A and B are shown apart, each in its own frame.
Chain A
Amino acid sequence: MSSPPGRRARLPSHGSGRSSEAREALRRRLQGLIDGNRVMIFSKSYCPHSSRVKELFSSLGVECNILELDQVDDGTKVQEMLSEITNQKTVPNIFVNKVHVGGCDRTFQAHQSGLLQKLLQEDAAHDYDLIVIGGGSGGLACAKEAAILGKKVMVLDFVVPSPQGTSWGLGGTCVNVGCIPKKLMHQAALLGQALHDSRKFGWEYNKQVKHNWETMTEAIQNYIGSLNWGYKLSLREKAVAYVNSYGKFVEHHKIKATDKKGQESCYTAAKFVIATGERPRYLGIQGDKEYCITSDDLFSLPYCPGKTLVVGASYIALECAGFLAGLGLDVTVMVRSILLRGFDQEMAEKVGSYMEQHGVKFLRKFVPVMIQQLEKGLPGKLKVLAKSTEGPEAVEEVYNTVLLAVGRDSCTRKIGLENIGVKINEKNGKIPVNDTEQTNVPYVYAIGDVLEGKPELTPVAIQAGKLLARRLFGTSLEKVYHTLFWPLEWTIAGRDNNTCYAKIICNKSDHDRVIGFHILGPNAGEITQGFAAAMKCGLTKQLLNDTIGIHPTCGEVFTTLETTKSSGLDITQKGC
């Protein structure tokens, strides 16, 4: 069993004198520990009950301060003092947010009833209920949903400029440098084809129609700008704090946010969602970062890319090559091995053939080895040297633009995950999660493109984000009221109290409508019949409360039900 995330305190031992001063000092010291720690566990290292409790908090991802009484000199005295403070003689003795919870059994009970969660929540130390790192499709969906559920939420979004210096606003990849501008440029290309078709359908214009790159990009960027604005507004309307800073974990529950100017701020939260997505990969060859562009740059390129080499065979490479060719540009695609890895290969080849038939050149089984700049300019001229993957053959060609589309890397290496122990796949940087999108650190979740083994798609991230928020913060739609009761006829007869039980289940989303009625006791059938008719008439908790009870009966207990299960409060009957 690995040791729980806790710090072990050592009390300095004082003189053995049992003076009242010494006792006061000890009391103060203990109180200090109780007050100064979210969770304070007085324990013994060999005690199995203590171990259970430590494991519980560890599984909840809650940091605890643990004092092993068998490992300090005045452990006995501490135990005695605790007994004075709490009336509890045994260890483990647990305090949560200064509240004495009890020993192992009481702590587990509190956990079962939800009381423990409540106590843990009442913690002024956390600035936010949820901090989402990454303001893209997944992050924004999760943040908004959590805010709708009444939580205090912050979104951190920061775009590290591409090597070419490109940056963009709130919304993530999809909105700024993915789905949206891609589809619009694709549409622009399709319109070129439509123009061509239209002549056959009788539309008359003589000139060979030219395409103006700047007109298109300006229109697209304006639309994206309106989306960025819309997202900011949407977050503001839902009272989600948005910070345009780069977030990095510094310790448990705490991140450091650095803005454009380098100013740092720290924030804490009960829970975190990592939704940092990915950025395009570079080849690691000479000239790649200096001279090549990626999808990060293409959609806002202020000048027409001209004769373009697209390196890669992903859907990104083919979609970009496709629309660039459709706009009339001279396009070549350099493919290392196969097209659209992971997709049906017959279909992938058909896609490739179609593109080839429509003017896109393919250099199959080649990789670039060096990129040189021949001329500066907008665009300039680049010389690309490429080698065959199958033999000694090499090619050299000059292009205006080289667009790299050779994959995307998760943004997980520089966000301080190692400081809190969140495990990532070292090879690809992706974060493995369980079925509930939880990382190996219980209060840290991840959604979207950073996830190991999940589809990298906007709607998947959005859905995952919403569902995650609902699981974390959504309350059950049902409220259960219940009580134990002692039928009058049983009292004199000396029959057991606290055996008869009544409960109703109400639908919170429908005026606390009674959707379930249960009674364990004498004459259950006679009692239930009338309530069944009432339920068919749409009985609500309010109506029950407004109904006068018939006294003395067992049935009247339903008209005075007060205690909910979720409160965890005691329902045992004491006497009459």
Chain B
Amino acid sequence: MHQAALLGGLIRDAGHYGWEVAQPVPHDWRKMAEAVQNHVKSLNWGHRVQLQDRKVKYFNIKASFVNEHTVCGVAKGGKETLLSADHIVIATGGRPRYPTHIEGALEYGITSDDIFWLKDSPGKTLVVGASYVALECAGFLTGIGLDTTVMVRSIPLRGFDQQMSSLVMEHMATHGTRFLRSCTPSHVGRLPDGQLQVTWKDHTSGKGDTGTFDTILWAIGRAPETKSLNLEKAGVKTSPNSQKILVDSREATSMPHIYAIGDVAEGRPELTPTAIMAGKLLAQRLFGGSSDLMDYDNVPTTVFTPLEYGCVGLSEEEAVARHGQEHVEVYHAYYKPLEFTVAERDASQCYIKMVCLREPPQLVLGLHFLGPNAGEVTQGFALGIKCGASYVQVMQTVGIHPTCSEEVVRLRISKRSGLDPTVTGC
């Protein structure tokens, strides 16, 4: 859906590049939803075929522990099945959280579980939350032409580099998304015409306010699927704070033959590729004679907001906290993608920063890239960081011209110098 939104922008650009399209071009939610949903269904099918091919038995049942080696599964119709095993892997993930303390939240609001499956356009939408889920959804809703508002309680993208996060938000705010900062909702009700009315408190002014929307999307966090598992029957311990399952470096829980991977495990990045890799390595350790552990350090990721944010390694704050300001050097640059020039696009938030140790050869601790195709740009540099790249090596790398990515190896201005970090020409 992010791609659908990006295409809207590209259609606008196309006019500048000579394509004669009558602007503005309207968007049909149904057509997009159908195409996306069909694709997802084909992936569901693909998974089932793969399991079959590998002779993995697939049960469509909801499982919970009876004891440490036995699991009871309940099918849709109610039929129960008992299964026992030597090893058990819990990979139940998480589900979006509802703010059940807010009246009407459950009844009238939807979450990311629903948004991708709506048959009709969500219309004028209020997204509550400031996680990447919230910002990504708000981003593509705005991009396909919907009136979108984001209600943020405190800071955007908690856990991410805050300078980058505020640039991400700034871009969205200057490109059609409305933000309600320091606000928390208190009540959701339905109006006679079917629209939803939301009441909230603005903590800056101290006043209350209301608004009407067609859809409310809760994106305030995800809760691990552990409650219904009856973990205590198996002796598997969870974190009292997060309810996630406690694991060690081998993904083992408090019961040595029971493992947990992915979003349900405590202290892990909630990312698909890490879960996939952890799962594979676990299988190899259990049955393949391997002793390789999953390395959770320097995992790259990208936030697919309208202006994408790719990062790997430490945020500037984390680096400073670990090493001290004196020992950290940050190189940065504001740049303009070539494709934006003819398209007359605003590149104010296109920004890169590289966080390094100050001592020569200046080991790279983290890389942060805000711009188009951020995921594509970041991936290669993640390998560099895994190999222990230093700033000196970065400087010695010849750029590929003309790309946005080359701006990473052209970083020369440090924050400390106070010089203007805007890239000028070749």
Contacts and interface: CB of A to CB of B under 8 A. Distances in A.
Contacts of A223: 341-342
A202 to B, nearest CB: 3
A192 B20 CA distance: 10
Interface string B336-370: 00110110000000000000000000000000000
B20 A175 contact: no
Interface string A168-186: 0000001100011001100
A230 B424 contact: yes
Given A192-B14, A194-B10, A458-B401, A205 B22 contact: yes
B211 interface: no
Interface string B10-25: 1101101111111001
Contacts of B31: 200-202, 204
Interface string A448-491: 00000000011110110000000000000000000000000000
B398 A457 contact: yes
**In this complex, which of A188, A192, A215, A460 has the most chain B Cβ atoms within 10 angstroms of its Cβ?**
A188
A175 B426 contact: yes
Interface in B30-67: 30-33, 35
Greatest chain A CB density within 10 A among B14, B26, B339 is at B14
B8 A230 contact: no
Interface stretch (A47-55, A206-214, A509-517): A206-214
A191 B13 contact: yes
Nearest to A172: B426
Contacts of A458: 401, 426
State the main secondary structure of chain A at its contact with B: helix
Contact of A184 (B11, B14, B342, B398): B342
B27 interface: yes
B400 interface: yes
B28 A204 contact: yes
A514 to B, nearest CB: 18
Given A219-B17, A231-B425, A198 B338 contact: no
B248 interface: no
A242 to B, nearest CB: 15
Interface string A100-139: 0000000000000000000000000000000000000100
A570 B14 CA distance: 72
Contacts of A460: 398
B406 interface: yes
B21 A205 contact: yes
A210 B21 CA distance: 8
A186 to B, nearest CB: 9
B7 A197 contact: yes
Given A192-B14, A215-B18, A180 B338 contact: yes
B380 to A, nearest CB: 16
A174 B30 contact: no
B29 interface: yes
B18 A194 contact: no
B11 A194 contact: yes
A374 B10 CA distance: 40
A217 B18 CA distance: 8
A385 interface: no
Contacts of B25: 198, 203-205
A183 B19 CA distance: 16
A201 B339 CA distance: 22
Q: Classify chain B: how many residues form its interface, as a range.
A: 35 or more
B144 interface: yes
B3 interface: yes
B338 A184 contact: yes
Given A180-B338, A180-B402, A191-B10, A234 B21 contact: no
A56 interface: no
Given A174-B426, A220-B342, A198 B20 contact: no
Contacts of B11: 191, 194-195, 198, 203
Interface string B394-426: 000011111000100000000000000000111
B342 A174 contact: no
B144 A459 contact: no
A459 B10 contact: no
Contacts of A217: 18
Interface in A212-238: 212-217, 219-220, 223, 227, 230-231, 234
Contacts of B30: 202
A187 interface: yes
B294 interface: no
> Which of A140, A216, A227, A230 gathers the greatest number of chain B CB atoms within 10 Å?
A216
A470 B26 CA distance: 56
A137 B27 CA distance: 43
A209 B342 contact: no
B425 A219 contact: no
Contacts of B425: 227, 230-231, 234
B88 interface: no
Contact of A201 (B7, B13, B424): B7
B4 interface: yes
A141 B399 CA distance: 15
A334 B406 CA distance: 33
A203 B27 contact: yes
Contact of B20 (A188, A209, A230, A462): A209
A162 to B, nearest CB: 23
A465 to B, nearest CB: 11
Contacts of B7: 194, 197-198, 201, 203
Count chain B CB atoms within 10 A of each CB in A194, A220, A234, A327 and give the residue with the most.
A194
10 contacts: A202-B28, A202-B32, A204-B28, A204-B31, A209-B21, A212-B18, A230-B425, A234-B425, A457-B398, A458-B426
Q: Which 4 A-B pairs have the closest CB atoms?
A: A216-B18, A202-B32, A201-B4, A188-B17
Given A195-B19, A457-B398, 6 more contacts: A198-B8, A198-B25, A200-B31, A201-B35, A205-B21, A212-B19
Interface of B: 3-4, 7-8, 10-11, 13-14, 16-22, 25-33, 35, 144, 338-339, 341-342, 398-402, 406, 424-426
